[in-house]
Structure 1
Amino acid sequence: MIVERVPVVAALAPAEATLERLDPLSAAAARPVTIGAAILALAMPLVAVATRWSEVVAPAWLAVSLLALIAAVWLMLDRSRLSRPVWRAPSAQLLQLLLIVMIVTSMLSTLQANPVVRADWAPLVTGIVLIALTPYRPAREIALWAVVHTLICAMLGMMQAPWAVTDVPTLTYAVTGSLPVAALGFAAAAYARSLNGSIARWQQRAWAAAQETAAHQRGSVARSVQQQRITTLNREAVPYLSRVVDADELTDDDRAEARRLARSIRALLVADVERGWASTLLDDLVGRHPHLNIVARADDPDDLGGAATLEQRTLLRAIGELSIRRLAATELDLRLRSDEGRLQVQWLIATPKPTVDALRDLRGVIELVRGVTERSTADRREGRIALEFEYGF
């Protein structure tokens, strides 16, 4: 029985969704922008320190600040790599804590020696990092941390007011110290929410159209299955019945043939009833390429494929089709298992291509798998390409 489920994209609000999960290929394309933001974030403090070294009264705190920044940038670049799983909340929170350490220690390095009303480099760098996180973190999380960083920078700005030479209200230092991170952080959150909301709405319409098309095609699929049964009957049963009608009497061979045909037809009907979605998928993929000699096997005893969501089944079909078209696959093995409600998927693909070439040809689908699944891996195992992942979020 096929269980209809609401697509994942429909369940995620724009403030909770990420571009990396909604549109993994676009997030992968944003990687150069992330690298550029990281370079800018590292360059700004170096320029600021070089031009205002006289204001540094505690070089040790400056060193801690720069180390925290380097660690945050490294974490951001590492977690946004295509070979890494989707960025999870714990490491994202660690990055924000590193930014807080950077802000505080940067202020301590110039305490009592920064008398001019102006924005320091730490709030600007923090805002740049928040912008760089838009493809990977939810808009709500970015907005929350923008508030936290803004408040911290405002308090630190007010702490330096007693040593200022400009006669302005203390609140002015809070504004000038926190304005860069507030402007950049809230802009990043607004952009992420708008972009993710647009993509989510487009995907909902696309999945609705796909479901409507699938509903229209169910009748033709049922007729195709029925036609296969009729073809089997015409090829085996009808000639036998015609021979029996023309014969004067039934022989023992005729009775044995009747029993064999009965078992064959019964086995065919039982196989059609028990055939799971995974087996049907592989049969359809192989049937679309009759000129190729492909061995396909499905291991899905609980018919988890039939209970999967539409987008999950679409991804499985895309992997199988691309394996045949791009890798010239000679063997396809699909294994589906369930672990505490999480759908675990394993593809084993035999291909004559070298491992490096095969993984390069599957680069697009591997990026897609990384974006919409968890714990994804792609490597060579026992002479075959192994692609493993699981659904669960």
Structure 2
Amino acid sequence: MDPALSLDSRVATLSLAGMALAWSVGLTILSIAATGAWEPRVWAVALLATATIVVARETAPLRAPFTAQAHLVVHVLACTAYLLYTNGSEGSAASRWLPWIPIALSLLIVAMCRYRPPREILGAGLLSTSAIALATMPLVAAPMPLHGAPGGALVLTAVLPVMTASVAAACYSRILVANSERWKAQAGYSSAALEPALLSDIERVMYRERVNALSGEAFPFLRRVLDADSISAADRDTARDIAARIRSAMVHEVDRTWLQAAVDSGPTGVHAPVVDDPDACAPMMSGTQRAALRTLISSLGASPRLDRFTISIRATDGTCRGEVWARFRAPYRPPRRRRNADLAVLRVAFSEVTVSTPADQLIVRFSFDHA
């Protein structure tokens, strides 16, 4: 899963991350006021705050997709924070016991459930559960358990929030993945059903284009030759020129890439970019990459203040590198937030996507391997 498909959950993700941070800070203040041991708890809340920032930052659409590395970092930071917390707890009957770090981690797990596959969510949750259980063992083995509670109860109260949140988040992610795969399968069936009609329309359009090309010069010339009694040298030269022009137009049509065709056949009212693809890299893109780039082109071209728009692609060392450059009429700054979805899809489809916004400009660089 990636943020491009989860833009509607951005508010929920930030809200859950904020709740986890507020919960951690509030319980830390109460814990320090009750026990007076502040240093390990401050470090613990600092690590958990870092994990919250990672969730809020890495789930942003401009940084899509949310990687497995970021997911693992959140769990490692939370488990380390819990280890510091347990080392700073006193094993006495007067000590308060509230596993606020596992509860905060459970909120973060729910916040991340739309961005990672179910197996990874469940696996990371089980590893964190094991780490939290091991970190709780020193409290269980203390001479006087907290509040006189049995050791098993301490372990259960620590691991149950993370375990239940991981199972629930994995189930929810599994439903999202299944719905997405079902939608893709239905879209594929629809495309297969429409393919014969689309091919027929393409053949009809090509036939009309060829007829139009011939009716401009070839048909009048042939009619004039048929009406004449003989063929002169000038007629031969004219026929040679007409054939060369028609052949050149047909070769240009064949050599034109899908990107140039998409630009030429764009809707009215949309600024068409200048395509610079001397190495013919555009045909090497996959279907997903073509759709992502076409979406960005349509979004930029529909901007009313667009002044100039270019797309350049080059092949270097087995990798195709492209750049989309757009300049807007000043004073103007491209609204990146409006293009969150387009840029997020582009980050999923291509590798090494970078976005920069100089004054009155938008520059998007991407790369992809030769197909």
User: Could you list the per-position Cα deviations for residues 97-136 of structure 1 after superposition, in whole angstroms to 9, with x for gaps in the alignment?
Assistant: 2111101001111132476795411111111111111132
**Which residue identity does 1:81 align to in structure 2?**
A
Structure with higher RCO (Cα < 8 A, 6+ apart): 1
Q: Any conservation in 2 of the 1:279–1:298 contact (CA below 8 Å)?
A: no
Deviation for aligned residue 1:243: 1.7
User: Could you list the per-position Cα deviations for residues 291-344 of structure 1 after superposition, in whole angstroms to 9, with x for gaps in the alignment?
Assistant: 778464351634x44453333322333233333333475655334456787664
CA distance in 2 between partners of 1:133 and 1:66 (Å) = 20
Corresponding residue of 1:323:
300
Q: Any conservation in 1 of the 2:270–2:301 contact (CA below 8 Å)?
A: no
CA distance in 2 between partners of 1:382 and 1:46 (Å) = 40
- 1:181-220 aligned within 5 A: 181-220=162-201
Deviation for aligned residue 1:187: 1.4
Corresponding residue of 2:151:
170
Aligned identity (percent) is 20
1:35 and 2:9 are equivalent in the alignment:
no
For 2:184, what is the secondary structure of its paired residue? helix
1:299 and 2:277 are equivalent in the alignment:
yes
User: Could you list the per-position Cα deviations for residues 203-227 of structure 1 after superposition, in whole angstroms to 9, with x for gaps in the alignment?
Assistant: 3322432343244302211221222
CA distance in 2 between partners of 1:307 and 1:294 (Å) = 22
Deviation for aligned residue 1:236: 0.9
CA distance in 2 between partners of 1:108 and 1:261 (Å) = 89
- CA-atom RMSD, angstroms? 3.1
2:118 to 139, 145, 153: 139
CA distance in 1 between partners of 2:74 and 2:273 (Å) = 47
1:264 and 2:253 are equivalent in the alignment:
no
Task: Give 5+ residue unaligned stretches, structure 2.
Answer: none
**Which residue identity does 2:103 align to in structure 1?**
L
Q: Residues 152 and 326 of structure 1: is their aligned pair in 2 closer, same or farther, counting only changes over 3 Å?
A: same
Deviates more, 1:342-351 or 1:224-233: 342-351
Deviation for aligned residue 1:239: 1.0
Aligned residues: 367
**Which residue identity does 1:178 align to in structure 2?**
V
Corresponding residue of 1:103:
82
For 1:112, what is the secondary structure of its paired residue? coil
User: Could you list the per-position Cα deviations for residues 201-256 of structure 1 after superposition, in whole angstroms to 9, with x for gaps in the alignment?
Assistant: 21332243234324430221122122211111111111111222223444443232
CA distance in 2 between partners of 1:214 and 1:114 (Å) = 74
**Which residue identity does 1:171 align to in structure 2?**
G
2:354 to 352, 377, 381: 377
**Which residue identity does 1:137 align to in structure 2?**
R
1:90 and 2:69 are equivalent in the alignment:
yes
CA distance in 1 between partners of 2:52 and 2:69 (Å) = 16
CA distance in 1 between partners of 2:282 and 2:233 (Å) = 45
Q: Residues 315 and 348 of structure 1: is their aligned pair in 2 closer, same or farther, counting only changes over 3 Å?
A: same
Deviates more, 1:272-281 or 1:178-187: 272-281
CA distance in 1 between partners of 2:207 and 2:359 (Å) = 40
Q: Any conservation in 2 of the 1:118–1:176 contact (CA below 8 Å)?
A: no
For 2:61, what is the secondary structure of its paired residue? coil
1:246 and 2:227 are equivalent in the alignment:
yes
CA distance in 2 between partners of 1:132 and 1:147 (Å) = 17
Corresponding residue of 1:276:
257
Deviation for aligned residue 1:49: 3.1
CA distance in 1 between partners of 2:359 and 2:247 (Å) = 38
TM, length-normalised to structure 2? 0.85
TM, length-normalised to structure 1? 0.81
Corresponding residue of 2:59:
80
Task: Give 5+ residue unaligned stretches, structure 1.
Answer: 1-17
For 1:348, what is the secondary structure of its paired residue? strand
User: Could you list the per-position Cα deviations for residues 324-372 of structure 1 after superposition, in whole angstroms to 9, with x for gaps in the alignment?
Assistant: 3334756553344567876644333455475425645544423433454
For 2:302, what is the secondary structure of its paired residue? helix
1:150 and 2:129 are equivalent in the alignment:
yes
Corresponding residue of 1:62:
41
Q: Any conservation in 1 of the 2:322–2:366 contact (CA below 8 Å)?
A: yes
